[in-house]
Amino acid sequence: MRSLTLAEARDRAELITVQSYAVELDLDRGDQVFGSVSGITFTCGSPGADSWVDVRARSVEEITLNGRRLDTAAIRDGRLTLPGLAAENHLVVRATMAYSHDGQGLHRATDPADRRDYVYGHLFLDAAPTVYACFDQPDLKAPYDVTVRAPRDWVVLGNGAASEVAPGQWRLASTKPLATYFVTVCAGPYVSVRDEHDGIPLGLHARASLREPLERHAAELFEVTRRSFDYFHELFGIRYPFDEYHQVFVPEFNAGAMENPGCVTLRDQYLFRGAATRDELLSRANTVSHEMSHMWFGDLVTMRWWDDLWLNESFAEYMSHRCLVDATDYTDAWVDSSIVRKVWGYGAERSPSTHPVAGVEALDAQSALQNFDGISYAKGAAVLRQLISFVGDDAFVAGVRFYLSETAYGNGTLADFLGAIERASGRDLGAWSAAWLLTAGRDTIAVEMEPGPEVEGRAGVGAAHLTRTPPAAQPADRPHALDVAGWTDGAELVRLEVTVTQDRVALPGLDGGPRPAVLVPNAADLTWARVQLDRTTLAALPAQLAHVPDAQARAVVWSSLIDGVHVAEVSPLTFLDVFEATWTAEANASILARMALYAEHRIVAHFLPREAQPAALARLARSARDLLGQADEGTTRSLAAARLFAGTTDDETLLRSWAAGSGLPHGLEDDGDFRWIVVRNLAARGLIDATGVDGYRAKDDTLQGGLNALMCRAALPDAEAKAWAWEQLTGRHGRSNYEMVHLARGLWMSPDDALVADYVERFFTDVPAMSGWVGEDALSRVVLAAFPKVVSEETDALSSAALRREDLTPGVRRSLVDADAELREALASRAAFAADFQASVGQV
């Protein structure tokens, strides 16, 4: 489907001003299609000119422009030509649209728990024309009047307050001006919990089968919502600019959440069916606050074109963490950011697909989506923290208020935002912006120390310098405001605040003092950089890291280790050495849980050769067993230990007992999600068959249960199971976006490469071809999940050949570039540390 270009968008915006939309949706036509009537009132700045409106329908029944009928066959490639426009125009398009199953457009899902259907709209980035005819670009905002016909037992929610005016007939209140991609309707037999805060009606909604976790988590969700409202009202000085505030937990959602004004949609995995670790609750709270901050930055003020999408996401990423720290009990939110969000962003920065935070002109809408990644979120947020260090927090907040008030209900640009900050601060941001926003890459920060005389029997420091090394391919003069801190046996020996404006800066605060056992540049994680630990610190980590009392610094150390593994400077076995020596003593929930996941699913599964993986998994299982034995029951520590042990142990007797519900750790007796971790381990080891998996599926007849069952069946280590999984993944079976991802994840779980070797070459032909029936956003995620996990030169050669093809869609190409980069990282690591891996084989 043709993607809107920047030039076309500019031309259309100069010509067209949209005054209002009236949209009628008929959701009572069965489970395949729905009716859509779009009434658009707009003006044309050059009467007599032609333009077009976007519509991608199953069929179009009638089109009228200013009372005259247009030929329904005039739609070409999703565009309806509008000839001979008047100064004032009214267009009506009556169409039949198709529900989607890939998370884009109007998605319809069936809950196997009760066989009832649920619908929600997700129109980001350019899916609005699959729901209603519109001028689909972010700078043609307009108010909406929406009416919905739905089955009589359904609830309808949307951007405006919904009221049922007759059985099955719903009217949504008129909205403020909205960009097309923010429009949503959620409809189905949703259950609800309602509240009110500061005059704003609040609602939480979910599938009927999730009533229990919805009600169990409602108090926590409302508390974060209320505190976020209060914080943003005070910080921005502008009241919440829309109507009611609903948060709808929807099935099979492609992202974490979407900031539709007045009706935020979130993935319903956030309603944890079983036990949840504190970091999972923190992540959910961060998402709630993140989406709310968008009500101002993104919804009230929207970027003019997609190349400034970072303005939305970087700002919300920063503000949500700031809000959690200042206004909620999640005061360690920046630690979580370091070990989750920045690790994700650093991965994006390492890839050949890296790009500047801003200033990359997206020539069309779909190409903009390729830069919607960890750089847009995590790096952008880190850059905003550096901007605050540069201009001061008071000036930053004042500038944000200028920007929001002056462009309210309209569209803004990077120049508008920086101009507002410059006015508030009196600082010229040209050079700063060029270095931080308009140049890709990240500097490497390290500390060099010359030996000095002993101090109280310890090695001393003669002279110390902090070095800043810009990447050779993306040189820039980035100023850094950061700190350097050091510890020995848990005692903080030094903490220096440093402003780095040169590539080599003296650290006189270290000169003549004892050398800390662990020295951490950027210990408070204030800047965006690769932290390179010195050799002495790296060697001391197994004995010393657990004693460092600063969780933020420990997170920076772990992030540095991850970076080092990915660039083949730190052995994966060194990572596991530090993990085994320190993990059981870790007190921070985010570090504890996330490093367990990273160790199991990235370090072992990706960087270790197959023959070294059993011994490494045994090490992880040993750590998990030790922590499970010492952690208090029902705590995050106990749950993280149980999950890691369930996924890594080869104790068949225990696994079968836990799968049967016997002898489970406290708090996990009725936890279906935990049982699937156990079943996945059993399946991957060939200790159950497809019939056994189906038996566990029968005990958990839910959407999540079905997804886990697909993954476990695909993980079975036999040729028949792999063939079935591949056919289900790549065939036209109407599989949802989530089902395809879970099939792909299970497929590559294999005790050896030979079992899945046939699917390596097939991936590069069969999966890209799915662009014919799978949406771009969903397929991009499938490509990442389905990319071959056989780390070999042959896979590398096939991947390189695929990237030379000219028929790949932008989303598929971007995902292939990133997956190929990760493959090359694994190959480089395996080559660099081959002798270490060989020595580790057989060591348990």
Give the active site residues. 291
CA distance 15 to 84: 13
Looking up tokens 């929610």, which residue turns up?
157
* Residue ranges with strand state E in 87-199: 88-98, 105-111, 116-122, 144-149, 155-158, 162-166, 169-172, 185-188, 191-197
d(CA 610, CA 517): 35
Torsions phi, psi of 276, nearest 5? -130, 140
d(CA 387, CA 374): 19
DSSP-based three-state secondary structure for 291 = helix
Q: Which long-range contacts (CB under 8 A, 24 or more apart) does 489-497 make?
A: 489/517, 489/544, 489/547, 490/547, 490/548, 490/549, 492/549, 492/550, 495/523
Tokens of 412: 């803004």
At 280, list the tokens: 């999972």
DSSP H helices, 203-331, are 211-236, 278-293, 309-327
Collapsing DSSP to helix, strand or coil, 614 comes out as helix
CA atoms within 13 A on the CB side of 125: 21
CA 289 – CA 286 distance, rounded (Å): 5
CB 382 within 8 A of CB 524: no
Which CA distances in Å does 454 have to 450, 514, 559?
A: 12, 7, 31
Burial 175-187 (b: 16+ CB within 10 A, else e): bbbbbbbbbbbbb
Residues 668 and 276: their CA atoms lie apart, in Å, by 10
Residue type at 243?
Answer: D
CA distance 360 to 371: 9
Distance between CA atoms of residues 676 and 682, nearest Å: 10
Structure tokens, 733: 């079976």
Long-range CB pairs of 233-238 (<8 Å, 24+ gap) are 233/198, 235/319, 235/397, 236/296, 236/400, 236/401, 236/404, 237/401, 237/405, 238/296, 238/300, 238/401, 238/404, 238/405, 238/408
Tokens of 418: 């920086």
